[in-house]
A and B are shown apart, each in its own frame.
Chain A
Amino acid sequence: MTDIEKCTLCGLCKANCPIYKVLLEEKYSPRGKAMLIKKEILSTTFYDCTLCGACEVECPVDINIDIRKMRNKLVEKGMETPANKKMIENVRKYGNPFGKIEKGKIPKELYCC
């Protein structure tokens, strides 16, 4: 049985989730993300996660929602965030995520992880 198959949708993972506790919409909750994985739905909501692991601490059956794996799938499908796209473009072009750096000047837009 995979981790997500064990999920009973009890929702206890919401208790300490720093994203859900602020935004208070189910799609930001770890339970919501587990439901998306169960349904094999790729959504940019997988980017709305700090990877802090608080959900795993609360989970009564120790489920680790593999957010990184879902993000890899999103990138493979071209569903990146604009910031991520720009960072990669900058690294390729200028060798750093911030873009063109001129001596003594701070880049106008800062892209970083």
Chain B
Amino acid sequence: MSDIIKNLEEIFGTENVSVSEVDKLMYSFDASQREGKTQVVVWPKNALQIQELIKYALNANLDIVPRGGGTGLVGGCVPNNSIVVDVSKMNKIENINLKEKEVLVQAGLVIKDLNDELKEHNLFFPIIPSSHKICQIGGIIATNAAGIRAIHYGKTDKWIKEIQIINGNGDNLTIKDPTEICGSEGILGIIIGAKLKLTDILEKRTLTVKTFDDIDRLCESVEKVAGNKNITAIEFFGKHTAEIADIKSQYHLFIEYNNDDGEIKEINKINELLNLRKGLGPLIGSKKYTVVEDPKIPMNKLPDFLRWLEENKIPVFGHIGIGIFHPRFKPDQDKLIIEMFELVKKLGGCVSGEHGIGLAKKKNINSKAIERFKILKKKYDPKNIFNRGKIYD
């Protein structure tokens, strides 16, 4: 062990390597509340250090876990006696190209910090997960995050021009096609930067809040507005969620527009309501509903799925406009979770719409997806040094 530390300190400097019990604990968990075991924590400052690390890890047969904001909900960066590489200090904006509406950033940059910088240029990066104030570019690429405006802007892969990644041979690659890396959950390499596409800032935002007592009326309303090009978000929460949040027990729909069509025009009120929606996950989690799922349901099957949740009194919220939901369960509700996954498959949906597989959903990933990841693993990380035991065993 002392040899490992000595070598890592030579690469990163003593101040950027830690084996203290406190640091090891800090990097043993993420927002999924799963815990693993950290061997060493390192904080790289540049690509060369990471390349050196990979070369060393290959010889020493070490497991390397890339980590960003630690906001993942499936344990994607929870270590298994691993070296945790926290890229948070690689957080610079390297270049903004106003003409091409592109920005070159390092992987540790926080989404909100990027958008704060872009404000003066009237531009923004439109992938806004609920954790956008703390989640990082590397993390949203690794999970191919969606977020509340996915109905209008799509998922992360749509906004990536290039990805810089250090692969399992220690090569610093610039990948033009994001398909293979987006959603690969840290098993192919360490994402160190990206060239992102930007769009014009939303000049106008208005919001309409609708409430329903009946699932069919709710779904009809979603269907009616879903094709509207001026809608930037359709968010939802269910009756049990409303009860937990101390709001009248009804189905709630938040519809955000990029024009004057919404009823609420005052920006502070809009932000307050959307923040209420964004805070629902942790709020429900604090009431012992600690297991979070993210199934994606075909739009024509929403009533069947929502009725099942209602019958089983499962609190739920989510991006109803694109069919992604976040039902929350208590840890002893295993049987209900299995039942829900069976229903999701029966309805033609998929078990993970945006959080990824990580450790939490390994049992539920289909063999076709595993085969795809195995082929990619062979291509990028043939010696299997990255994030062992995630997505598949």
Contacts and interface: CB of A to CB of B under 8 A. Distances in A.
Interface string B127-156: 000010110000000000000000000000
Question: Which of B282, B283, B290: most chain A Cβ within 10 A?
Answer: B282
Interface stretch (A23-31, A70-78, A93-101, A102-110): A23-31
B88 A43 contact: no
Interface residues of A, number: 26
A41 interface: yes
Interface string A47-86: 0000000000011110000000000000000000000000
Measured as residues with beta carbon below 8 angstroms from the partner, the interface class of chain B is 20 to 34
Given A15-B134, A24-B89, A61-B286, A10 B281 contact: yes
B26 A26 contact: yes
A88 interface: no
A26 B41 CA distance: 11
B31 A41 contact: no
B70 interface: yes
A15 B112 contact: yes
A12 B282 contact: yes
B25 A39 contact: yes
Contacts of A43: 22
B31 A26 contact: no
Interface in B275-325: 278-283, 285-286, 290
A31 B23 CA distance: 13
B25 A10 contact: no
B283 A26 contact: no
A106 to B, nearest CB: 33
Contact of B286 (A8, A12, A24, A32): A8
Interface of A: 6-12, 14-16, 24-27, 31-32, 35-36, 39, 41, 43, 45, 58-61
